[in-house]
């Protein structure tokens, strides 16, 4: 299944927003925040990869049409 460009960009933006907001809505009652840091890292990494993938795909399309 091939994802559309807009879908890839939306997933990247959404994962970045959730990664930023997860700290506000997650309550951890003890001092070890390793699980929360893991979730934030995965979401930021997913956002980074998706947004770079979108930019690479768009730059190929722009160079072909120019």
Q: How many residues does the chain have?
A: 66
Concatenating the DSSP letter of every residue in 7-58 gives: HHHHHHHHHHHHHHHHHHH----SS--HHHHHHHHHHHHHHHHHHHHHHHHH
pTM of the model: 0.77
Token pair belonging to 14: 């959404």
Token pair belonging to 24: 């506000």
Model confidence pLDDT, tens digit, residues 5-64: 888 899 999 999 999 998 888 776 666 667 888 889 999 999 999 999 999 988 877 776
**CB count in 10 Å sphere of residue 12:** 20
Domain ranges, ordered by start, for the chain: 5-65
């Amino acid at each position: 299944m091939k994802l559309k460009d807009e879908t890839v960009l939306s997933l990247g933006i959404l994962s970045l927003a959730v990664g930023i907001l997860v700290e506000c809505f997650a309550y951890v009652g003890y001092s070890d925040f390793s699980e929360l840091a893991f979730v934030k890292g995965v979401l930021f990494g997913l956002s980074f990869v998706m947004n770079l993938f979108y930019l690479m795909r768009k730059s190929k399309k722009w160079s072909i049409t120019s």
